[in-house]
Amino acid sequence: MISVMWFRQDLRLEDNTALKKAFDDPNELILLFQVNPSQFLENSLNHQAFFQSVAHFQKEVNKPFHLQILYGDVLMCFNQLKKALPNWNTVYFNQNHCGSGHERDQMMRHFFKEKQISVVSCADHQLHAADEIKTKTNDDYKVFTPYYNQWIQRIKAAPIKVDLKKDNVIKEVLFPEDEEKFAQLIQALPNKIYYLVGNQAAHQQLELFLSQHLVDYQIARDFPIQNKTSQLSPYLRTGEISIRTIWQRLKEQPASEGKETFIKELCWRDFYNMIYAAHPQQKDQPIQEAFTFIHWENNPIDFDSWKAGKTGYPIVDAAMRQLNETGWMHNRLRMIVASFLTKDLLIDWRWGEKYFQQMLIDYEPASNIGGWQWAASTGTDAVPYFRIFNPSLQSKKFDAKGEFIRKFVPELEKLPPAFIHEPQKMTGNEQQKYGIFLGETYPNPIVNHQEARKKAIARYELSKELF
């Protein structure tokens, strides 16, 4: 008999729940990854980075074994596999609890049942799976802190040892044409490195963060120029490192405020995963129904200016250009640009969420939707709608000297701190002096923050009244 290990967002050969079970199974084993080309968007840094990771993983697996690539629609691929291997009777995978991954898993469960293939699906991607932490009345939590209090008490996660000694892993290439198509897709990717891919690089990133930045993380994490967050998010979304391995190494660190704060951030990841599983409609619908009737402006020119980093608000522009150039954006900046889009420009948070989906190399549906609904004040435990970020004050607080702005908005390089956050305050003479001409070399602000703030509050209140 033959078993299949189906990799998805768990691109590693260590500390992998489903893989351990698959290796312990005496059946012959096939290791595989299924590529759905219809999901691949050309200008998506998200997809480019993800497939770079898959290609790297393929090389790693191919050293001792062989990673079979299936290329095409998921049902078609697995149908073809079953036809090629009538003896295939078990499939192992780490399941998705929410979003399109969950829908695919549900559909595939039907398929496997029909074909009499047993499914061994595991919870692997979180420290606590979506259905693990409930209130006393067995409801889902809506507020972070009580969820966290349960979450932290109940963690038992420990790395899982996978014994890779197995001599009946099938190494013969089953679908050479599919592998060729995947190779072509990889070759056509832009020759750009977004981050150092792979399990080894993920471990190095973890160790660098723990040894150098964990201890003062609670302070340094808010200053984009310092780059002192872990930057583990791209590895977590591909599964190039396991969350249990991170947890284990974290536990071994001496107690510090930085450590406590970092643990809370890991909890946000599980919290949003739980929220998305509990509210499967939340990619399209606000969780707080009172905000269903917000009248968004949705001005496409403003949206383009925001995407391109040309709003005339330097901190917003620097952040958006960081995203466009690197595929990653600092958390403080994600909050600033999301607030700016939804509250200052009154553009629907779903537009922003989709743009982030296209661009983020760490795109995780639950965290992204959660972050956007938080910023738009439409989600569970979101920022109150009347507390609106002032982008210039945020800029002065978290990039006081304007170093981050200068890095990503080079046309403002010569501006002193007095003007770097609000270039529109320069007189004509000052513009001459610094060689920056508003409306020509750098845009005037596309919106007046104080006026926009009042308008946004009125629109949110109107939605509540209409509800």
Active site residues: 265, 268, 296, 331, 349, 372
Are 106 and 95 in contact by the 8 Å Cβ rule? The answer is no
Identify which of residues 112 and 355 has a Cβ nearer to ligand FAD in the complex.
355
- Residue 27 binds ligand FAD (CB under 6 A): no
Q: How many CB atoms lie within 10 A of CB 119?
A: 16
**Binding-site member from 72, 258, 314, 371 for ligand FAD (CB under 6 A):** 371
Report CA-CA distances (Å) from 324 to 109, 201, 265, 327, 355: 38, 23, 24, 6, 10
335 binds ligand FAD (CB under 6 A): yes
Cβ 199 vs Cβ 236: under 8 Å: no
Q: How far is CA 62 from the centre of its chain?
A: 28
User: In whole angstroms, how close is the CB of 283 to ligand FAD at the nearest point?
Assistant: 12
Task: Check if the beta carbon of residue 29 is closer than 8 Å to that of residue 23.
Answer: yes
Under the binding rule (CB under 6 A), the answer on residue 364 touching ligand FAD is yes
The structure tokens listed for 37 are 């080309």
Q: Does 338 bind ligand FAD (CB under 6 A)?
A: yes
Query: Residue 94: phi, psi to the nearest 5?
Result: -90, 120
363 binds ligand FAD (CB under 6 A): yes
* Residue 362 in contact with ligand FAD, rule: CB under 6 A: yes
Q: Which of 136, 367, 149 is nearest to 268 (CA)?
A: 367
Q: Is 233 annotated as a binding residue?
A: yes
Can residue 355 be called a binding residue for ligand FAD (CB under 6 A)? no
Residue 344 in the binding site for ligand FAD (CB under 6 A): no
Smaller CB separation from ligand FAD, 58 or 233 = 233
Taking CB positions, which residue lies at the least distance from ligand FAD?
371
Evaluated on CA atoms 172, 176, 181, 187, the torsion sign reads positive
Residue 306 among known ligand-binding residues: no
Q: Indicate which single residue of 121, 229, 311, 378 sits in contact with ligand FAD (rule: CB under 6 A).
A: 229
End-to-end CA distance of the chain: 58
* Residues 87-106, interacting with ligand FAD (CB under 6 A): none
Asked if 228 is part of the footprint of ligand FAD (rule: CB under 6 A), the reply reads: no
CA dihedral sign, ordered 414, 418, 422, 428: negative
By beta-carbon proximity to ligand FAD, the closer residue of 147 and 356 is 356
Q: How far is the CB of 208 from ligand FAD (least distance, A)?
A: 12
Rounded to whole angstroms, the Cα distance separating 452 from 1 reads 65
Among 229-237, 310-318, 399-407, 422-430, which window interacts with ligand FAD (CB under 6 A)? 229-237
Burial of 111 (0-12, 13-18, 19+ CB in 10 A): middle
The footprint of ligand FAD on this chain (CB under 6 A) covers a number of residues equal to 28
| 244 counts as binding ligand FAD under rule CB under 6 A | no
Q: Burial level of 324, CB count in 10 A (0-12/13-18/19+)?
A: middle
Q: Determine which residue in the list 81, 232, 345, 409 makes contact with ligand FAD, applying CB under 6 A.
A: 232
Establish if 287 lies at the interface with ligand FAD (CB under 6 A). Answer: no
Per-residue x/- marks for ligand FAD, 178-217, CB under 6 A? ----------------------------------------
Query: Based on CB atoms, which residue is closest to ligand FAD, 332 or 421?
Result: 332
* Span 40-79, contacts to ligand FAD by CB under 6 A: none
C-alpha to C-alpha distance for 392 and 377, rounded to whole angstroms: 20
* Least distance to ligand FAD, CB of residue 78, Å: 28
Bridge partner residues of 438 (DSSP): 442
Residue 119 bridge partners (DSSP)? 91
Which amino acid, residue 78?
F
For residue 381, state whether it binds ligand FAD (rule: CB under 6 A).
no
Radius of gyration for the alpha carbons in the chain, expressed in angstroms and rounded: 24
Residues 256-275: x where in contact with ligand FAD by CB under 6 A, - otherwise, as a string: ---------xx-xx--x---
Rounded to 10 deg, the angle between the 99-114 and 74-84 helix axes is 30
Q: Is 341 annotated among the ligand-binding residues?
A: no
Tokens of 28: 């012959």
Whole-number Å distance between alpha carbons of 220 and 325: 23
> Strand 2-7 relative to strand 28-35: parallel, antiparallel, unpaired?
parallel
Q: Taking CB under 6 A as the rule, does residue 233 contact ligand FAD?
A: yes
Stretch that binds ligand FAD, among 105-113, 199-207, 305-313, 357-365 (CB under 6 A): 357-365
Distance CA 190, CA 182 (A): 15
Please enumerate, by residue number, every residue annotated as part of a binding site.
217, 229-233, 262, 265-272
Q: Which residues contact ligand FAD by CB under 6 A?
A: 221, 229-233, 236-237, 265-266, 268-269, 272, 331, 334-335, 338, 356, 360, 362-364, 367-368, 370-372, 375
Please enumerate, by residue number, every residue annotated as part of a binding site for FAD.
217, 229-233, 262, 265-272
